[in-house]
Amino acid sequence: MPATVRIKPEVITPHRLRIEMFGLDDEDIENTIRMKGWAWVLARKGWVYAGEPDFIYRQLREVVVAMPNIFFDEAGIEVSIKTVLAKARSDEERQEGRDLLRCAFEKTGQLETAQSFL
């Protein structure tokens, strides 16, 4: 079963966001994300990484795009996209986020679903 991710807003600072991963059952990927600073959150029963957009973008590039069997939660695609665009600190960062999400959705085969929100 593939792991699913979603991106949600954090309220600590105006530009902070959180990426969450659920259903991960690949020990190699688990070890990789642990080394990248993700934390296991028992209450959520999933892996979480929070930070400013540039840190989240790095996780999208190095985990979601680069690793196999990771997809976006279908129900959370709209919220994920809107969060990335809303939390950007500049127009350039917003465009970078949009481009990176497009790349991630192409990799996962979910671009058609996400296209209207990008």
Q: What is the pLDDT of residues 81-116, one digit of tens each?
A: 999 999 999 999 999 999 999 999 999 999 999 999
The model's pTM is: 0.93
DSSP state of 37: T
Q: Give the count of domains, the chain.
A: 1
CB 101, CB 60: distance < 8 Å: yes
Domain residue limits at 24: 3-117
CA distances for 41 relative to 19, 47, 60, 92, angstroms: 12, 6, 19, 32
Integer Cα distance of 78 and 101 in angstroms: 11
State pLDDT tens for residues 20-57.
999 999 999 999 999 999 999 999 899 999 999 999 99
